[in-house]
């Protein structure tokens, strides 16, 4: 039947026919391509222009799932539409064969169909309706894709829709039948409602390769407005058929529901909505329905549950991670601050050991921030201990306590205190710095001779004589101005009455004598060809070997010289000059005047001599010689001489020696004022003694000391190696006084009786009971003292007594009120191991004789902390939440420690001797004073520290 | 062990535990997700997007 159409297409065979026309398989002669030629039946009645316009509309369609229309040709009276040839078969054929498709397969086709519909419905100007979607109009290609065919009754939509031109039963929407289910009422529109002039009857057409659906008809006589939702219904019905294998009922309301075992609920819901009789309740666009299919995965409850599970897991783990991170960060910051607090506490202790009390308090306060915030750790015991020690609230003994550390521009050459101690002058290279000792304020910085031989002395509390630049200067600290200036000077000496000064410059052979009040150079004392010893470089080295001293009233001037000679010059009559050594091997001289007596020492490399000269009789009243050097100071209060580790005051006539200080190491420097003596020793210690040569306190840190000074209530220490001087202030604590006793009564322990009226001082072989005023109530010798094993002071209610335990188990009890023997009982022999246990509410503290005492948790038995390792624990007392432990050190020193609940030290309690029932701490300074203190809380300490 | 150490090490432990738990959860959820996707593909076909 070969037929050539329009000289281009060769008709091969007929492959289908229907209401729309006859479909042929053809071939493009030139391209050799297979095409479909559809001969339109309407050629009989329709104008070719109408057909052309329709075909032109279809020709512009280009979509994967829609056949491409290529051409429109007229051959004779027949109009042919030329389009793609689609291989495969329409879906109605497998349906008729009873073939069933998988849900996934149908969904894939549904998506492809919906994409095609989206394309059609979106064609300008208002979209195109296929209007006859059904299995027979869907081709399945060999690639298992689909192609929507047969656009015979496809309609170009108007602005409000289109009228139907035909339908296929079961697949056509209710609108195709003229039934309107929208809203409540069902309306059927008659031909009077025709909105367009399209033909009301139109034969169904099928494309080549597709068969005409038997149910299809073109007999729809009612013209009802169609829109894209009609196509959606048809597609839903088609998919219904494909999914279930059942052709849907013609009446949309009688469509058999999809069973739960036929289809996934989500897919069934999509189909159900697509086939809703009411167009308003269907998918409103193909795009909506397409999205519903595309989101089947996402909208599936299992997938939602899975995603929710993922999200919840991620959220929980993220929150957990962040919470852990926050906790770790907080802990880290707290650790940092804790370490910082530890460091600051150590700084505080170091500052305190240097005498820098203000610095110690400042460091301790920094370690104890008031508002630590979330990252701040709880106050550390170390910081509290540092603050407590810096404030010295539990150090109630009298004595010189660290007061201030004065910073200097350079290492000191000389440091002196004013007579009353209210001023301190420190000479450094080229400068004299003057300070107020109480406030630490620098009162003056005066230019000085650039020599280590330069000197500075106080001529009164506010009058300073110093070796200024090129001149001896007298400076008034109150007025802040120079009073007068003399000749150039380095060494300066002042008479004890402060009226006369003498000065020598370097190794010049003349001394100038001034009236201090006026600055008048009264006379010059010539040394002949002699001069004082100097070193080649006197800027950096001052051996302090020279002696230059005026007597108390300015009548005598003693001077040593570089040739080893020593002469006492009479300032009134040079005929009376006393040459003590004309020349000698001595290189180091010290000395001074007490009234008419001149005391000096002269030291060579091999020997040292000390002598006292009566200048009235010009006789020697006393003297020593030895291999060790003698250090001598003499003023109107006496002559003081020391050698090795002993310092004595020497009576110039009788030679009687009064011990002033006895130290553990050789004395390198000493100072005296009033009742106090201060020594510096070559072991780096600095020790204060009272007038009875009793050791008041020893500072073991910060030395060695080259300069020591005591005056009034202040003391000063300095080293040539450090750019600072330390000021100490004499402190008394009368407000804390609890009781006094005879300091000469030797005892190991002191206890207050329960009624608080008497004090018991006891040692292993005796005890004394005395009143609070020191009056002796009883002195008792303990019998068989060598057999005493232990002593325990006990308080119960208003009763208190000393329990003396003997090795044989005998226990004697003595009243703390009057010292009478209360009882004597024979008990069991005591445990010789001296192992003791103490208990608090939460702790058990063990105290072995040899070993470190340790605290254990009473409930768990776990070790809480080991206590002092180098001391013997004697008592444990619980005071509130704190624990006070008392020790005897290896050196026999008694002290206490205030511990927190974790046995961390909060405070040192030096010289602690007793703890009263109300928690009051009692301290025994072993010098006749019992003093008391309450336990300070951290807040109280902070408040104290912040007081101006 | 004081509070700050407890916070530091406890927090670090919680972080480490949450990382490990996260890894384990990721593996488990990935496996169950894969299985679920495979099942959904069987039911609905491959995802188009």
pLDDT digits 0-9 by tens, A64-87: 999 888 887 888 778 788 888 998
What mean pLDDT comes out for the span B6-21? 94
Residues of A in contact with B34 (CB under 8 A): none
Can you tell me the mean pLDDT for A721-733? 91
Instruction: Please answer whether residues A670 and A708 qualify as being in contact, where contact means their C-beta atoms are separated by less than 8 angstroms.
Output: yes
Q: What is the ipTM of this complex?
A: 0.96
* Whole-number Å distance between alpha carbons of A678 and A839: 44
Contact between B11 and A335 using a beta-carbon 8 Å cutoff: no
Indicate the residue of B29, B40, B48 with minimum beta-carbon distance to A294: B48
**Residue A568: what pLDDT?**
94
Query: What is the token pair recorded at A897?
Result: 């420690």
Q: How many CB pairs under 8 A join A and B?
A: 115
* Mutate which: A260, A261, A318, A328, vs B, most B CBs within 10 A: A328
DSSP per-residue string spanning A809-841? SEEEEEETTT--EEEEEE-PPPPTT--EEEE-S
- What residues of B are in contact with residue A325 (Cβ under 8 Å)? 11, 15
Q: How far apart are CA A724 and CA A433, in angstroms?
A: 11
- The whole-angstrom distance between B42's CA and the closest CA on chain A is 6
A119 vs A836, more confident: A119
| Residue A204 clears pLDDT 80, i.e. is over it | no
What is the Cα Rg of chain A in Å?
Answer: 59
Q: Do residues A623 and A612 touch, judged by C-beta distance below 8 A?
A: yes
Give the residue, A605 or A219, on which the prediction is more confident. Answer: A605
Two tokens at A866? 């080991």
Phi-psi region of A651 (alpha: psi -120 to 50; beta: other; left: phi over 0): beta
CB-based contact A103 B43, cutoff 8 Å = yes
Do the chains contact at A331 and B41, CB–CB below 8 Å?
no
pLDDT score at A819: 93
Distance between CA atoms of A536 and A553, rounded to whole angstroms? Answer: 34
Instruction: Please tell me the predicted confidence (pLDDT) of residue A206.
Output: 31
Is A334 in CB contact (< 8 Å) with chain B? yes
**B20 reaches A (C-beta below 8 A):** no
pLDDT at A386 over 60: yes
**A265: contact with B, CB 8 A cutoff:** no
Q: Which residues contact B34 (CB under 8 A, 6 or more apart)?
A: none
Q: Which of A33-37, A178-182, A285-289, A893-897 is the least confident region?
A: A178-182
B43/A104 CB distance under 8 A: yes
> Is A325 within 8 Å of chain B by CB?
yes
Residues A874-904: tens digit of each pLDDT: 889 999 889 999 998 888 888 999 999 889 9
**Does the distance separating the beta carbons of A105 and B44 come in below 8 Å?**
no
- Report the distance separating Cα A783 and Cα A780, nearest Å: 9
- The answer to whether B36 contacts A267, with C-beta atoms less than 8 Å apart, is no
Q: A338 and B45: CB-CB below 8 Å?
A: no
pLDDT tens column, A418-430: 999 999 999 998 9
Looking at residue A18, what is its pLDDT?
A: 65
pLDDT value of position A217: 39
- Given a contact cutoff of 8 angstroms between Cβ atoms, the answer to whether A238 and A262 are in contact is no
Up-side HSE of residue B47: CA atoms within 13 Å toward CB?
13
Partner residue opposite A297 with nearest CB, options B17, B25, B40: B40
The strands making up A821-826's β-sheet, listed across from edge to edge, are A788-796, A799-806, A810-815, A821-826
Nearest to B4 among A107, A267, A335 (CB): A335
Distance CA A71, CA A650 (A): 143
Check A331 against B8: CB less than 8 A apart: yes
Return the ∠ at Cα A895 (arms to A891 and A898), rounded to 5°.
145
Does residue A455 have a pLDDT over 90?
Answer: yes
- Say if residue A437's pLDDT is above 90: yes
If you measure CA to CA, which chain A residue comes closest to B40? A297
pLDDT over threshold 90, residue A464: yes
CB contact under 8 A, B8 and A294: no
Residues B7, A334: C-beta atoms closer than 8 Å: yes
Q: Do A267 and B5 touch (CB under 8 A)?
A: no
Sheet with A138-140, strands from edge to edge, namely: A89-90, A138-140, A146-148
From A109, which residue of chain B is nearest by alpha-carbon distance? B45
Contacts of A105 in chain B (CB under 8 A): 45
Among candidates B7, B17, B37 on the partner chain, residue whose Cβ is nearest the Cβ of A330:
B7
How much is the average pLDDT of A183-210? 35
Per-window interface: A 225-264 vs B, CB < 8 A: 264
* 3-class SS of residue A796: strand
**Is B11's CB within 8 Å of A328's CB?**
yes
Please tell me if residue A479 touches chain B, with a CB cutoff of 8 Å. no
In this prediction, residues A851-879 reach a mean pLDDT of 90
Mean pLDDT, chain A, rounded, equals 87
Q: Which residue of chain A is at minimal alpha-carbon distance from B32? A: A306
Q: Which of B36, B41, B42 sits opposite A302 (nearest CB)?
A: B36
- Which two structure tokens, joined as six digits, stand for B10? 């406890």
Q: What is the pLDDT of residue A872?
A: 87
Residues A501-550 have pLDDT tens digits of: 999 999 999 999 999 999 999 899 999 889 998 887 776 666 689 999 99
Q: Which of A293, A325, A378 sits opposite B3 (nearest CB)?
A: A378
Question: For helices A228-244 and A103-121, what crossing angle results, to 10°?
Answer: 170
∠ CA A82-A87-A88, nearest 5°, is 135
Q: Is A300 on the interface with B (CB under 8 A)?
A: yes
Quote the CA–CA distance of A540 and A536 in Å, as a whole number. Answer: 10
Using DSSP's 3-state secondary structure scheme, residue A634 falls into: strand
**Could you tell me what percent of chain A has a pLDDT over 70?**
91
- How many Å apart are CA A47 and CA A34, to the nearest integer? 28
Q: CB of B7 within 8 Å of any CB in chain A?
A: yes
Per-state percent for chain B, helix, strand, coil, to nearest 5: 85, 0, 15
Partners of B11 on chain A (C-beta within 8 Å) are 323-331
Per DSSP, A87 falls in state: P
What percent of chain A has pLDDT above 90? 59
CA distance A31 to A243: 40
Q: Is A791 helix (H, G, I), strand (E, B) or coil?
A: strand
pLDDT grade for A49, boundaries at 50, 70 and 90:
low
- Residue A843: which H helix or E strand, with range? strand A843-847
Q: What is the pLDDT of residue A696?
A: 86
- On chain B, the residues whose CB falls within 8 A of the CB of A326 are 11
Q: What angle do CA A471, A542, A678 make, to 5 degrees?
A: 105
- The Cα–Cα gap between A165 and A152 comes to 10
Contacts 24+ apart (CB under 8 A), A818-825: A818/A758, A818/A769, A818/A777, A818/A778, A819/A760, A819/A767, A819/A768, A819/A769, A819/A777, A819/A778, A819/A779, A819/A780, A820/A778
DSSP annotation string for A326-377: HHHHHHHHHHHHHHHHHHHHHHHHHHHHTT-HHHHHHHHHHHS-S---TTPP
């Amino acid at each position: 039947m070969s037929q050539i159409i329009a000289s281009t297409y060769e008709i091969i065979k007929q492959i289908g026919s229907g209401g729309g026309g006859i479909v042929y398989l053809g071939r493009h002669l030139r391209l050799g391509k297979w095409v479909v030629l559809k001969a339109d039946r309407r050629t009989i009645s329709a104008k070719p222009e109408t057909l052309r316009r329709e075909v032109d509309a279809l020709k512009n369609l280009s979509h994967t799932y829609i056949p491409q229309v290529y051409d429109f040709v007229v051959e004779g009276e027949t109009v042919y539409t030329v389009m793609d040839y689609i291989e495969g078969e329409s879906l109605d054929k497998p349906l008729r064969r009873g073939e069933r498709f998988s849900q996934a397969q149908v969904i894939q086709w549904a998506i492809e169909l919906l994409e095609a519909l989206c394309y059609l419905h979106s064609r300008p100007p208002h979209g195109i309706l296929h209007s006859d979607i059904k299995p027979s109009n869907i081709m399945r290609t060999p690639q298992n894709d689909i192609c929507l065919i047969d656009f015979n009754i496809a309609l170009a939509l108007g602005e409000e829709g289109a009228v139907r031109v035909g339908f296929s039963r079961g697949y056509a929407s209710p609108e195709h039948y003229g039934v309107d289910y929208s809203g409540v009422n069902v309306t059927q529109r008659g031909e009077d409602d025709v909105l367009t002039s399209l033909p009301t009857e139109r034969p169904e057409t099928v494309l080549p390769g597709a068969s005409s659906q038997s149910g299809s008809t073109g007999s729809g006589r009612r013209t009802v407005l169609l829109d894209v939702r009609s196509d959606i219904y048809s597609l839903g019905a088609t998919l219904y058929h494909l999914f279930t294998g059942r052709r849907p009922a013609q009446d949309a309301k009688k469509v058999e529901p999809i069973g739960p075992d036929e289809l996934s609920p989500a897919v069934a819901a999509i189909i159900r909505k697509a086939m809703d009789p009411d167009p308003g309740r269907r998918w409103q666009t193909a795009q909506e329905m397409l999205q519903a299919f595309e989101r089947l995965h996402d909208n599936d409850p299992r997938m939602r549950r899975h995603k929710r599970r993922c999200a919840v897991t991620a959220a929980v783990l993220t929150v957990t991670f962040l919470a852990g991170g926050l906790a770790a960060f907080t802990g880290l910051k707290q650790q940092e601050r804790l370490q910082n607090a530890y460091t600051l506490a150590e700084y505080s202790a170091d500052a305190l050991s240097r005498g820098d009390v203000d610095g110690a308090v400042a460091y301790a306060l920094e370690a104890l921030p008031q508002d630590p915030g979330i990252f701040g750790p709880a106050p550390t015991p170390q910081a509290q201990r540092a603050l407590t020690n810096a404030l010295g609230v539990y150090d109630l003994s009298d004595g010189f306590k660290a007061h201030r550390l004065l910073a200097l521009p350079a290492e000191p050459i000389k440091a002196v205190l004013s007579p009353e101690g209210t001023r301190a002058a420190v000479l450094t290279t080229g400068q004299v710095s003057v300070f107020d000792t109480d406030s630490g304020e620098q009162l003056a910085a005066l230019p000085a001779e650039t020599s280590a031989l330069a000197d500075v002395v106080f001529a009164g509390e506010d009058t300073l004589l110093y070796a200024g630049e090129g001149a001896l200067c007298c400076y008034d600290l109150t007025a802040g101005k120079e009073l007068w200036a003399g000749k150039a000077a380095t060494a300066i000496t002042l008479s004890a009455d402060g009226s006369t000064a003498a000065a020598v410059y370097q190794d010049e052979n003349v001394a100038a004598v001034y009236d201090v009040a006026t600055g008048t150079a009264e006379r010059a004392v010539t040394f002949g060809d002699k001069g004082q010893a100097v070193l080649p470089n006197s800027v950096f080295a001052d051996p302090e070997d020279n002696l230059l001293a005026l007597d108390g009233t300015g009548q005598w001037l003693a001077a040593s010289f570089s040739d080893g000679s020593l002469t006492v010059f009479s300032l009134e009559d040079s005929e009376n000059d006393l040459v003590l050594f004309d020349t000698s091997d001595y290189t180091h001289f010290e000395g001074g005047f007490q009234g008419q007596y001149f005391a000096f020492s002269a030291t060579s490399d091999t020997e040292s001599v000390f002598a006292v000269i009566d200048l009235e009789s010009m006789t020697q009243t006393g003297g020593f010689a030895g291999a060790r050097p003698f250090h001598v100071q003499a003023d109107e209060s006496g002559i003081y001489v020391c050698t090795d580790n002993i310092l004595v005051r020497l009576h110039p006539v009788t030679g009687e020696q009064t011990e002033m200080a006895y130290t553990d190491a050789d004395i390198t420097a000493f100072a005296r004022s009033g009742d106090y003596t201060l020594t510096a020793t070559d072991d780096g210690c600095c020790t204060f003694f009272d007038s009875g040569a009793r050791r008041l306190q020893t500072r073991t840190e910060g030395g060695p000391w080259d300069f020591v000074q005591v005056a009034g209530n202040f003391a000063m220490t300095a080293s040539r190696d450090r750019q600072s001087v330390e000021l100490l202030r004499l402190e008394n604590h009368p407000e804390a006084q609890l009781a006094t006793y005879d300091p000469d009564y030797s005892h190991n322990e002191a206890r207050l009786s329960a009624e608080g009226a008497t004090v018991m001082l006891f040692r292993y072989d005796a005890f004394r009971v005395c009143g609070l005023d020191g009056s002796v109530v009883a002195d008792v010798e303990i019998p068989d003292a060598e057999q005493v094993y232990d002593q325990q002071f006990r308080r119960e209610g208003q009763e208190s007594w000393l329990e003396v335990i003997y090795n044989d188990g005998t226990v004697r009890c003595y009243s703390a009120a009057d010292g009478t023997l209360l009882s004597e009982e024979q008990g069991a022999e005591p445990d010789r191991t001296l192992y003791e246990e103490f208990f608090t509410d939460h702790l058990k503290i063990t105290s072995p004789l040899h070993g470190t005492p340790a605290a254990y948790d009473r409930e768990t038995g776990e070790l809480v902390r080991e206590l002092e390792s180098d001391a013997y624990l004697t008592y444990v007392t619980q005071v509130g939440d704190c624990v006070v432990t008392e020790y005897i050190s290896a050196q026999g020193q008694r002290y206490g420690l205030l511990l927190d609940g974790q046995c961390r030290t909060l405070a040192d309690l030096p010289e602690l001797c007793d703890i009263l029932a109300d928690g009051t701490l009692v301290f025994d300074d072993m010098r006749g004073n019992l003093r008391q203190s309450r336990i300070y809380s951290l807040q109280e300490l902070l408040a104290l520290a912040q007081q101006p | 062990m004081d509070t700050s150490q407890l916070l530091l090490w406890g927090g670090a432990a919680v972080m480490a535990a949450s990382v490990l738990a996260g890894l384990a959860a990721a593996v488990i959820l990935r496996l169950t997700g894969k299985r679920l996707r495979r099942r959904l593909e069987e039911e609905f076909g491959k995802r188009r997007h």
